[in-house]
Each structure stands twice: as C-alpha cells, then as structure tokens.
C-alpha cells in the first residue's frame, strides 16, 4: 500500500479545530446529584463562566455567570430557590435570566427590567446527568435545540450507579482521540486486571454510521479480561461514539447488562473534563462501587499521564499522523467534526460522512 494511502497527515485538521469548540450541540455538564434544590454551582464550560441552579420546584437552569451590571459572578450572590440576587448591588434575576429587580431604582422610574437579560443556556436532566446546549455566542439563546440529548438504551429513567471525573490538561480533540484509539491499549493500560499480556492480536471489527457518529457493531469479546469475567462472562460488546465527545459502551454478559458512558467536556482550550459512569443490572454494583473506583482512577490516570507527556511534544506544533485502520476512528472524528461545523455554517442538515466499514488492526 502506498504510504500516502496509509498515512493521513492531519496537521491541517488539528490546527483548524484548535481553539475552536464545536457549538450548537449538547455537552455533558455534570452529575444531577451535584445540585440540590435551592443550590447554585459555578462551572466553566468551553471557556465560558456558567452558573447552574436548581429551583425549589426541582428544575435545573443555567445562566452566564456574569452580572450584566458590573460583571460580578452571579454565583457569588444569594439564591432563594427562585431568583439569584447579585452580591454587589442586589440586582435580581429569575431562572430564565430575566432581571426582576434593581433595588437602587426609585419607585417613579419606569424602566423595562426585562432589557437586562443574562444569557440563558438550554439544559436537560436525563438519566442522572445534566446536559447543556452551547449555542453560538451570537445566537438567540431562547431558540430550543432540535437535537436530542444522548440517552442510554435499556436504562430509561434510571440514574447511573457510579460516576468518576478527571481533568486532562489538553484541548478536547486529544482527549476524544485517545478515547477511540485501540492501539494504545496494550502499551498504556498494562495491568493484571485489564491487559497483562503484551502480545498483539489481529482485530477485525465492523462499524456503521449512527447519529452524529459511528457504532462498532455488537460482537463477542475474544479477550475476556478479569474485569469482564467479573461482570458475568461471555461478554458481547457494542460501542457507539457521537459528537462532541460521547462514548457509550454496552456490555451484555451471561447474567448482566452494563453500560459505560464516557463523556468529554471542554473546560477551556487547555483543560478538558473526562467523566465516566456506569449503569448496570448488577445488584452488588452500587454497594461495592468503592471497590471499583481505584481501578477506574488508575485506568483514566494512565490516559491522562499520556496526555501530559503528549503536551510536551505538542508545544512544538509538530505535524500529527493518523494511520489506517488503527486510527480510522480518529479520522472519522475529525471528518464528523468538520461536517458538523460546515452544516451549521450552511444552516443545513448534518450529513454523516461515515460509511459502514470493516476495520482491521492489531492491538
């Protein structure tokens, strides 16, 4: 095979996407349990300061965390479960971001307070998670997104049983590409409970396009690791990826069904949050989740350590390569991302660039 066909230099793709977040799409924000009724929580997403809150009625909302008066974060103020009162001059805002009171105004001043509007972000609470729709900065926030939030089939209305988050010091693309990179596994995740042998084997997997991404067709796991045996043995797996950074791994064993949802959210251009959580039918999973936690920390930590090392090289802005077929999923990610940006720019339907395909690699 000519080298040009084998290698795809993605420097152009990488530099184009650098410091350019995908917008007009749902991002994972945080576990729902983190905000109780009457509480606020400040969090940076895509470089923007956001304050999340949950009203006394239980509804979650999200606003830009900057007071339009003189820029004090709203999260520094008080929240009574209905309205946020800014800490500086006491302006009040409802959960839709509309100003409802300016204490310094005389009664005879007839001012339309609704002109003082804080940016509101659409949010959804689904299966124990809060998702946020990050539209273009200049788009009208009131427009409800057409796109739906990713949901885990088979666990409708159910909350995850364990969740774990780790921050990676990189731009989102490097965290996403690491998530769909089969050839790093035998080198990075070497552990008795996951992958102790260093012998690479041939892998042949079928892929199909799926909403905003692609899915590795359900197949029997040849390599039944300790972890999969723990889940019940004879595991069958299906893995779906969708933009902007959502990976859903469905595992069916002799006795159980387990879903691992991993979501990637950019905090800033140089920091990305990776959250992984489990939905299971295993009765012992929830009470014993603390036993599994160290393994997840180690596993994610191995990926993060490699990203830290990668940053050393990336400082020099070298061209990066992706090889077929081991990196085809990463190539698809860049193609999906480019098409998503194009479809938004042209105000048309997204057209999935991925076609059904069998991929071969060694890992």
Nearer to Fe ion, 88 or 194 (CB): 194
| Residue 69 lies near ligand FES (rule: CB under 6 A) | yes
- Applying CB under 6 A, the span of 63-71, 141-149, 294-302, 352-360 interacting with ligand FES comes to 63-71
Q: Which does 341 bind (CB under 5 to 8 A by kind): Fe ion, ligand FES, none?
A: none
Interatomic CA distance for residues 97 and 103, integer angstroms = 17
Query: Least distance to Fe ion from the beta carbon of 358, Å?
Result: 23
Distance between CA atoms of 126 and 29, rounded to whole angstroms? 11
Rounded to 10 degrees, the C-alpha dihedral 143/176/223/197 comes to -160
84, 77 Cβ separation under 8 angstroms: yes
Are 300 and 306 in contact, with CB atoms under 8 Å apart?
Answer: no
Q: What is the rounded distance in angstroms from the CA atom of residue 103 to the CA atom of residue 279?
A: 48
Per CB under 6 A, does 67 bind ligand FES? yes
Cβ distance 226 to 5 under 8 Å?
no
141 binds, among ligand FES, Fe ion, none (CB under 5 to 8 A by kind): none
Please give the biggest Cα pair distance in the chain: 81
Q: Which does 194 bind (CB under 5 to 8 A by kind): Fe ion, ligand FES, none?
A: none
Is residue 48 near Fe ion by the rule CB under 5 A?
no
* 116 vs 227, beta carbon nearer Fe ion: 227
Residue 26 to residue 41: CA distance in whole angstroms: 19
Count of residues engaged in binding ligand FES, rule: CB under 6 A = 8
> Among 179, 309, 154, which Cα is nearest to 244's?
179
Using the minimum distance from each CB to ligand FES, give the nearer residue, 29 or 99: 99
- From residue 100, alpha-carbon distances to 90, 96, 118, 197, 230 in Å are 11, 11, 11, 64, 55
If contact means CB under 5 to 8 A according to the sort of partner, which of Fe ion, ligand FES, none does residue 35 touch? none
Selected from 83, 85, 303, 325, the binder of Fe ion by CB under 5 A is: 303
Sites for ligand FES among residues 72-91 (CB under 6 A): 72, 86, 88-89, 91
Residues 157-196 that bind ligand FES (CB under 6 A): none
Sign of the torsion angle spanned by Cα atoms 179, 185, 189, 195: positive
- 70 touches ligand FES by CB under 6 A: yes
Pick 69 or 124: Cβ nearer ligand FES: 69
Residue 50 Cβ vs ligand FES, minimum distance, rounded to whole Å: 17
Contacted entry of ligand FES, Fe ion, none for residue 86, CB cut-off 5 to 8 Å set by kind: ligand FES
Under rule CB under 6 A, residue 223 binds ligand FES: no
Q: Can you read off the two tokens belonging to residue 137?
A: 């900065």
From CA 2, how far away is CA 8, in angstroms rounded?
12
Of 75, 111, 119, 68, residue with least CA distance to 91? 68
Candidates 242-250, 285-293, 302-310, 324-332; binding stretch for Fe ion (CB under 5 A): 302-310
**Shortest distance, CB of residue 97 to ligand FES, whole angstroms?**
13
Which parts of this chain interact with Fe ion (CB under 5 A)? 303
Which parts of this chain interact with ligand FES (CB under 6 A)? 67, 69-70, 72, 86, 88-89, 91
């Amino acid at each position: 095979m000519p080298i040009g066909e084998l290698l795809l230099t993605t420097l152009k793709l990488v530099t184009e996407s650098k410091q350019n977040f995908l917008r007009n799409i749902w991002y994972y924000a945080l576990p729902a349990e983190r905000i109780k009724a009457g509480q606020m929580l400040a969090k940076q997403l895509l470089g923007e300061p956001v304050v999340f809150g949950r009203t006394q009625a239980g509804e979650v909302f999200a606003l830009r965390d900057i007071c339009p008066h003189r820029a004090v974060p709203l999260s520094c103020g008080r929240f009574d479960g209905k309205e946020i009162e800014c800490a500086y001059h006491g302006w009040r805002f409802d959960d839709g971001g509309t100003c409802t009171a300016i204490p310094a105004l005389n009664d005879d001043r007839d001012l339309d307070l609704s002109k003082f509007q804080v940016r509101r972000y659409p949010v959804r609470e689904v299966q124990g998670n809060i998702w946020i729709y990050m539209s273009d900065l200049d788009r009208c926030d009131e427009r409800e997104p057409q796109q739906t939030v990713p949901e885990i089939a088979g666990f409708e209305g159910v909350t995850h049983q364990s969740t774990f988050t780790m921050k990676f010091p990189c731009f989102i693309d490097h965290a996403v590409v690491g998530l769909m990179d089969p050839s790093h596994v035998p080198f990075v995740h070497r552990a008795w409970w996951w992958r102790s042998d260093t012998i690479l084997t041939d892998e042949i997997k079928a892929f199909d396009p799926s909403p905003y991404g692609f899915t590795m067709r359900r197949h029997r796991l040849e390599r039944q690791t300790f972890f999969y045996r723990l889940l019940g043995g004879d595991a069958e797996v299906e893995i779906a990826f969708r933009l902007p950074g959502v990976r859903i791994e469905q595992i069916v064993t002799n006795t159980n069904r387990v879903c691992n949802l991993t979501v990637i959210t950019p905090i800033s251009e140089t920091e990305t949050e990776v959250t992984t959580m489990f939905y299971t039918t295993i009765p012992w999973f929830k009470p014993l989740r603390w036993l599994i936690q160290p393994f997840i920390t180690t596993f994610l930590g191995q990926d993060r350590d490699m990203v830290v090392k990668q940053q050393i090289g990336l400082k020099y802005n070298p061209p990066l390569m992706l090889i077929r077929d081991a990196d085809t999923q990463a190539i698809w990610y860049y193609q999906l991302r480019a098409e998503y940006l194009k479809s938004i720019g042209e105000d048309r339907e997204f057209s999935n660039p991925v076609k059904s395909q069998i991929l071969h690699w060694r890992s």
